[in-house]
Amino acid sequence: MKLGPLTKVLRPSPTLAVTMKAKALQKEGRDIIGFGAGEPDFDTPDNIKAAAIRAIQEGFTKYTPVGGIDELKDAVIEKLRKDNGLAYKRSQIVVSTGAKHTLFNMAQVLFGQGDEVIIPAPYWVSYPDIVLLADATPVIVDGGESEGFKITPAKLKKSITAKTKAIILNSPSNPTGAAYTLDELKGLAEVLKGTEIIVVSDDIYEKVVYDDFRFSNMANVGEEMKEKTIVVNGLSKSHAMTGWRMGYAAGPDNVIAAMTEIQSQSTSNATSIVQKAAIEALLGDQSFIPKMVAEFKKRRDVIVGALNDIPGITCAMPPGAFYVFPRVSALYGRKYRGKPIATSNDFSEFLLEAANVAVVPGGAFGNDDYIRLSYATSMGLIVEGVKRIAGAVAKLD
């Protein structure tokens, strides 16, 4: 069957490709340690599950208003007030089927042909494709390791043209764990002042920060920036709810209304049951989060230390999220069984073959000198996995 033109802009998700390959090898009986996971390895808290079960038992299983029930919008408003010091009205909130869906709807209503959207690299794999599917052009701006994997005001300024429509910021970042301080955001805001450039703030890792890092987003800079910012967040990472599919956006009335409208002609409301669970997640007991983050921090310290002990690999200490992004390009040019390693893809395949370890090539995130490892896996597997990597690297010619 002949496919339509939109399919031509799509690229298969590279993170899923590695996971699939690792799963296939596992099925063949190979003992693979996976560092590919993009989700917490914790169970959803019981109070949230109970709220969903209650919703089913009470028959809350029908269509709801497209953009979410008022009770949930109010819970989101309360969360944004309490955690972020930001005030919104119901008409400025829309609830969708995961933050990825929220970002997709945002792009569909804000971007179009000729628009340039600045995406700092390393970036989350879906941003360029979400921009392309809205017929706009991704403009990749490199945030180098020497700048903490963040873009500077000077770099931002240089990348702005008359066509610049928006910038997508993700702090803490997937894949680097880098996070912008309020002062750094103020620096970027200074460049955006007086322009009509929109800031999309993907705050999905807001809760996963370490060592007293204080989370801020662009809307915190001040009223002018708040009016130009679309805040995107969800429950997947903060409450270990990836499978539930729950995301939301806060922003100007007209943008939220348009996002709701596009949703009304595609997916309609997020699952009714999940909306009830989300209210509990947002307003109920939050003690799950610091426990999860404390465990992530222990693992982060171990994995960063162990990776830096491997000759040829260097790894920065990330302030947030649950990924490390070690540089491996010093090993490019070396050979495994006569096969030269030249790219992050080669390096990842070498690790799968020689170490039975699955990682994601950095090229997928816009920087080929690196690989991404998720430490959302047990301490035992982290220690064993990195030991295997060290053993395999030692065997390189």
Q: How far apart are CA 155 and CA 119, in angstroms?
A: 12
Rounded to a whole number of angstroms, the minimum distance from the CB of residue 37 to ligand PLP is 11
C-alpha dihedral sign at 133, 139, 145, 151: negative
Give the nearer residue to ligand PLP in terms of CB position, either 288 or 323. Answer: 323
Window 161-200: residues binding ligand PLP (CB under 6 A): 170, 174
Give the nearer residue to ligand PLP in terms of CB position, either 145 or 202. Answer: 202
Output the residue with the shortest Cβ distance to ligand PLP.
98
Window 314-343: residues binding ligand PLP (CB under 6 A): none
Residue bearing tokens 């709810």: 241
Rounded to a whole number of angstroms, the minimum distance from the CB of residue 96 to ligand PLP is 9
Give the nearer residue to ligand PLP in terms of CB position, either 234 or 361. Answer: 234
C-alpha dihedral sign at 326, 329, 335, 337: positive
Window 215-234: residues binding ligand PLP (CB under 6 A): 234
Rounded to a whole number of angstroms, the minimum distance from the CB of residue 232 to ligand PLP is 7
Q: How far apart are CA 309 and CA 303, in angstroms?
A: 10
Residue 98 in contact with ligand PLP, rule: CB under 6 A: yes
Are 358 and 396 contacting, i.e. CB atoms less than 8 angstroms apart? no
Give the nearer residue to ligand PLP in terms of CB position, either 48 or 389. Answer: 48
- Secondary structure element (H or E) that encloses residue 76, with its range: helix 70-84
Instruction: List the one residue from 44, 64, 229, 236 that touches ligand PLP (CB under 6 A).
Output: 236
Rounded to a whole number of angstroms, the minimum distance from the CB of residue 153 to ligand PLP is 22
CA proximity to 334, closest of 349, 347, 345: 347
- Cα 364 off chain centre by: 13
Rounded to a whole number of angstroms, the minimum distance from the CB of residue 97 to ligand PLP is 8
Give the nearer residue to ligand PLP in terms of CB position, either 68 or 389. Answer: 68
Residue 267 in contact with ligand PLP, rule: CB under 6 A: no
Residue 99 in contact with ligand PLP, rule: CB under 6 A: yes
Residue 104 in contact with ligand PLP, rule: CB under 6 A: no
Residue 100 in contact with ligand PLP, rule: CB under 6 A: yes
CA distances from 292 to 15, 52, 172, 322, 331 (A): 23, 21, 16, 11, 34
Residue 15 in contact with ligand PLP, rule: CB under 6 A: no
Instruction: List the one residue from 202, 280, 346, 368 that touches ligand PLP (CB under 6 A).
Output: 202
What's the burial of 376, exposed, middle or buried (CB within 10 Å: 0-12/13-18/19+)?
buried
| Residues 6 or more apart whose Cβ sits within 8 Å of residue 176 | 122, 149, 316, 318, 321, 323, 325
Give the nearer residue to ligand PLP in terms of CB position, either 180 or 336. Answer: 180
Long-range contacts of 189-195 (CB under 8 A, 24+ apart): 189/218, 189/221, 189/222, 189/225, 190/153, 191/153, 191/156, 191/157, 191/160, 192/156, 192/167, 192/225, 192/228, 193/224, 195/160, 195/164
**x/- binding map, residues 367-396, to ligand PLP, per CB under 6 A?**
------------------------------
| Residues 6 or more apart whose Cβ sits within 8 Å of residue 263 | 66, 67, 94, 96, 105, 269
Residue 150 in contact with ligand PLP, rule: CB under 6 A: no
Residue 143 in contact with ligand PLP, rule: CB under 6 A: no
Give the nearer residue to ligand PLP in terms of CB position, either 204 or 389. Answer: 204
CA distances from 98 to 72, 164, 237, 248, 372 (A): 14, 27, 11, 7, 23
Rounded to a whole number of angstroms, the minimum distance from the CB of residue 104 to ligand PLP is 9
Rounded to a whole number of angstroms, the minimum distance from the CB of residue 16 to ligand PLP is 13
Give the nearer residue to ligand PLP in terms of CB position, either 125 or 355. Answer: 125
- Judged by CB under 6 A, how many residues of this single chain contact ligand PLP? 14
Residues in the site for ligand PLP, rule: CB under 6 A?
Answer: 38, 98-100, 124, 170, 174, 202, 204, 234, 236-237, 242, 247
